[in-house]
Amino acid sequence: MTDVITVMSLGWQYASTHGTPIQALRDVNCYVAAGKLAGIVGPTGSGKTTLGQALTGIIPHILDGTLTGFVRVADMNVKSTSVSNISSKVGYVPQNPVDLFVTNEVENEIAFPLENRGVAPDEIRARVDEVLAMLHIEAFRHRDPRTLSEGEMMRVAIGSAIAAEPDVLILDEVLAVLDENGAQDLYNILERMLARGAAVVMIDLDTRWMREHADNVFLMVGGEIIRSTGREIFTREASLLESVGVNIPRAERAPLTIAQLEPEQTADAIIEFDHVDYLYPRSENDDSPQLQDVNVRIPRGAFVGVVGPNGSGKTTLLTMINSQILPSRGRVLVDETDTRECGVRRMAREVAYLDQDPLHMMLTRNVRREIEFAPHALGIPSEEVNKRVNALIRAFNLYEIEDSDPIALSAGQNRLVALAATLASQTPILVLDEPVAGLDYRLKTRFMTMVRELNDQGITVIMASNDSELVERYCTHALRLDAGRVVDFGPLRPLQPTAQAARKVR
Amino acid sequence: MRSQFYIPVDGWLARVDVRAKLFAMLALIVICAMWGNWIFLAAVLVLEHIALLSTHIPANKTLKVWAFFLPIMLIVAITMLFTVALPGNTVWNLNGWQVSDATLTMTAVVALRIADIAFAVFLMLFTTSRASWISGMAGLGLPYNACAAVANAIQFLPTYAATVHDLVLTQHIRGRYARIGKHNPFTRTAAWCSAHIRAIIAAPAHMRYLDRSRSIAALAHGAHINRGSAKRTYLHPAHMRLFDWLLVLLAIVCVALVVVMMTVLGW
């Protein structure tokens, strides 16, 4: 069978404005045949995304740097073919689609590649209908994709990439933000694509599907492919994969078991949602409420995992805690203060918030200053700030990028900087929206351990996550949302009286 | 592009072909600029508000336009009352400062003209999506890249405002002004100004970064694909219906009537 992807001796060095250029890829060789699924796995910062970009032509045509070696995709030499012409046969779903939508309406976003190819309008309409149905996003047809939840945005990005039925599909960390239904829709699409002879390259840290379906697996470390095998790598070399940060789930994820919350457990509530409804402004969204009658009391010192399908209202709930949005009905009390009376500005003393898109939280052009920003702003003495910042730089191994501009970093590094910057403030409440999506297992564990240590010191943590395993492992409570309603809220395991007492320290 | 003038409501004006709407808007601007009859200008303003209401534009959006243009109208009107002295019957006489009925009429005409032109433009902006702008201009023969550039330029102000808003919000979330109490209006105002000035300065760099990300995405979806001799197509190509032709005809008739009234009847 002929290879649709041929990569030989590929090297890529990013041009750097801060002295030494960064060697992102070294002597990469890989081959993928038509109708095959190739998985690219490896730790955060190992060059997976860079390799994906080299297959789309973004490298070397758009990003600055030096390319060596040879890349051929769908009979096109990447070096001598423009990105747009490569896209005639290659579909690409980037890691973070929020800033990458070209249009203001979901149906236009999916139609865009077809319009560029000159497909007849009737055919475009039929294909858009088909794609919307495949991804179960018909209801968002006329919505601005930027107003959707991250998982829904990812579905739109997938729809746009598959609309023109490419010969090669490259998916970069898409599973991290998709819920179970979204992932299943994607698997169905991939099965159909593979059956019609398209090649799929899946760059992901979630190896569940790859483990059963991948024909080729490439393990990348430090910009090199150190293993090029089949899916047997997940059984034969599991310890190697885990040692570099690739998690191999042992069994199917069991649903979370959420116990009944006793009234006395919420007697000392730090956050209270009192019959809260939230309706998006009409101009931005449809008329259905995003949150409906949310009535929850979060105990002081709890570590709450907010779970639920994409678009169930997790982010909306989180943004209410620090007054970013106010309830349409009902009230939210944070330490007995109504969020209506205390705006975002003053709420920053109580709540540190991490957005699901870390780049949107960056305010400086230097990693160290970014981490120092909040504690300095909150008036913490310089000595203490330095102590905290140094500890975080050490914990996340940010020495090499300490003086870099956050905008110039990779998505994974950006997330680490944002995590460190959020942890540095040590406010009584920590709100984290999908904090570890796209991070490798080692970094995920390191971050979550730090959050749990802060929680043990009495800091209340509210974390939205699609990863029920993570919630089960680290959280004390879980809150399950579905279509804007609280379905379940309670402890994940019985709290020991001593632990409860410790959590009340602050 | 996260923010735009367009209001996604299902109104009759949103369904009108962009070319017809653009022609009608330009015709309206021309006749408002040409004919200085305050009764006509006032009638146009009323008609524009009826159009806004009937096409389901929320009242708060109309009020926002007034909030922006009313101060401009007042400044212009007051300046004219003090600086323009036309002969005519004196309406006010205050310590030597005289305002004649002709000056008052001219002031009203200029103020109404500003409002008429502003609302004509906003009728267009509120009811035309980015996709409609692009397909409409493509219908006039412009290539896609030019259409997209014009559509982006039209949305520059709301995008800039949204970026500034996001940057101010991020500063607040990250605690930049958290220590400022809520009871001192001076420190609060200073914090507000400081946050906005910082955001206004930082916004262009953020917008450049977003523009670059989007242009990469557009290329990766084939924005400059080689189609050979085939033309780019559109999901909803611009299409002139009978109603759109009637609107164009009505605009032509209105311009002709105004010209006749001005030249033949001397109004």
Return the half-sphere exposure (C-beta side, CA atoms, 13 A cut-off) of residue B217: 24
A260-304 pLDDT, tens digit per residue, is 777 777 778 899 999 999 987 654 445 567 899 999 999 999 999
Using CB atoms, which residue from B178, B223, B230 is nearest to A378? B178
Host H or E run for residue A486: strand A485-491
Using CB atoms, which residue from B1, B174, B214 is nearest to A373? B174
Q: Which of A216, A169, A236 is nearest to A41 (CA)?
A: A216
- Structure token digits, residue A193: 């694509």
Q: Summarize the confidence of residues A305-325 as an average pLDDT.
A: 93
Contact state of B233 with A120 under an 8 Å Cβ cutoff: yes
Contact state of B225 with A117 under an 8 Å Cβ cutoff: yes
Q: Which of A158, A62, A53 is nearest to A110 (CA)?
A: A158
Domain containing residue B130: 9-134+239-267
Assess B49–A contact: CB distance below 8 Å, yes or no: no
Task: Categorise residue B256: left if φ over 0, alpha if ψ from -120 to 50, beta otherwise.
Answer: alpha
The radius of gyration of chain B's CA atoms, rounded to the nearest angstrom, is 23
∠ Cα A116 A121 A124 (to 5°): 70
The radius of gyration of chain A's CA atoms, rounded to the nearest angstrom, is 23
Check residue A76 and give its pLDDT.
95
Assess B183–A contact: CB distance below 8 Å, yes or no: no
Measured CA to CA, the distance from residue B182 to residue B188 in angstroms comes to: 7
Check residue B186 and give its pLDDT.
85
Contact state of A348 with B209 under an 8 Å Cβ cutoff: no
Shortest Cα–Cα distance, A165 to chain B (Å): 12
Contact state of A94 with B233 under an 8 Å Cβ cutoff: no
Nearest CA in chain A to B218: A102
Assess A104–B contact: CB distance below 8 Å, yes or no: yes
Q: Which of A399, A433, A400 is nearest to A418 (CA)?
A: A433
Q: Which of B215, B235, B236, B239 is the best substitution to test chain A (most A C-beta atoms within 10 A)? A: B235
Candidate from A370-374, A403-407, A459-463, B21-25 with smallest mean pLDDT: A403-407
Q: Are A108 and A186 in contact (CB under 8 A)?
A: no
A73-119 pLDDT, tens digit per residue, is 999 999 999 999 999 999 999 987 777 899 989 999 999 999 999 99
Measured CA to CA, the distance from residue A117 to residue A85 in angstroms comes to: 10
B88-117 pLDDT, tens digit per residue, is 888 788 777 888 888 999 999 999 999 999
Q: Are B214 and A100 in contact (CB under 8 A)?
A: yes
Give yes or no for residue B256 having a pLDDT over 60: yes
∠ Cα B48 B51 B55 (to 5°): 145
Check residue B176 and give its pLDDT.
87
- Helix, strand, coil % (nearest 5) of chain A? 40, 25, 35
Give yes or no for residue A180 having a pLDDT over 60: yes
Check residue B157 and give its pLDDT.
92
Report residue A481's pLDDT band, with 50, 70 and 90 as the boundaries: very high
- Structural domain contains residue B200: no
Torsion of CA B84, B90, B91, B96, to 10 degrees: 70
Q: Which chain B residues contact residue A417 at CB under 8 A? A: none
3-state secondary structure A71-111: EEECCEEHHHCCHHHHCCCEEEECCCHHHHCCCCCHHHHHH
Contact state of A84 with B224 under an 8 Å Cβ cutoff: yes
Q: Summarize the confidence of residues B245-256 as an average pLDDT.
A: 94
Assess A112–B contact: CB distance below 8 Å, yes or no: yes
Q: Are A170 and A139 in contact (CB under 8 A)?
A: no
Contact state of A87 with B219 under an 8 Å Cβ cutoff: yes
Q: Which chain B residues contact residue A88 at CB under 8 A? A: 222, 225-226
Check residue A502 and give its pLDDT.
43
Assess A361–B contact: CB distance below 8 Å, yes or no: yes
Candidate from A32-46, A95-109, A167-181 with smallest mean pLDDT: A95-109
Give yes or no for residue A242 having a pLDDT over 80: yes
Measured in degrees and rounded to the nearest 5, phi and psi for residue B150 equal -65, -45
Q: Give chain B's domain count.
A: 1
Residues within 8 A of A (CB atoms), B 222-251 only: 222-227, 230-237
Contact state of A101 with B213 under an 8 Å Cβ cutoff: no
Mean residue pLDDT across chain A = 88
- Structure token digits, residue A372: 């120092």
Report residue A252's pLDDT band, with 50, 70 and 90 as the boundaries: low
Q: How many inter-chain contacts (A to B, CB under 8 Å) are there?
A: 169
Check residue A409 and give its pLDDT.
79
Q: Report the CATH superfamily, name and number, of domain A3-243.
A: P-loop containing nucleotide triphosphate hydrolases (3.40.50.300)
Q: Catalytic site residues of A?
A: 173
Q: CATH 3.40.50.300 residue ranges in chain A? A: 3-243, 268-503
Check residue A250 and give its pLDDT.
66
Using CB atoms, which residue from A82, A115, A363 is nearest to B233? A115
Q: Write down the pTM of the prediction.
A: 0.87
A221-234 pLDDT, tens digit per residue, is 999 999 999 999 99
- Structure token digits, residue A86: 């490569």
Check residue A321 and give its pLDDT.
95
B220-229 pLDDT, tens digit per residue, is 999 989 888 8
Contact state of B174 with A58 under an 8 Å Cβ cutoff: no
Report residue A504's pLDDT band, with 50, 70 and 90 as the boundaries: very low
Q: How many CB atoms lie within 10 A of CB A245?
A: 22
Q: Summarize the confidence of residues B17-46 as an average pLDDT.
A: 93
Contact state of A377 with B169 under an 8 Å Cβ cutoff: no
Q: How many CB atoms lie within 10 A of CB A482?
A: 13
Q: Are A494 and A282 in contact (CB under 8 A)?
A: no
Contact state of A115 with B234 under an 8 Å Cβ cutoff: yes
Q: Which of B3, B64, B159, B173 is the best substitution to test chain A (most A C-beta atoms within 10 A)? A: B173
What residues have CB less than 8 Å from B212, skipping those under 6 apart?
Answer: none
CATH node for A268-503: 3.40.50.300
Q: Summarize the confidence of residues A144-169 as an average pLDDT.
A: 93
Assess A85–B contact: CB distance below 8 Å, yes or no: yes
Residues within 8 A of A (CB atoms), B 187-206 only: 191, 202
Mean residue pLDDT across chain B = 90
Q: Which chain A residues contact residue B175 at CB under 8 A? A: 348-349, 373-374, 377-378, 425
Measured CA to CA, the distance from residue A150 to residue A146 in angstroms comes to: 9
Report residue A494's pLDDT band, with 50, 70 and 90 as the boundaries: low
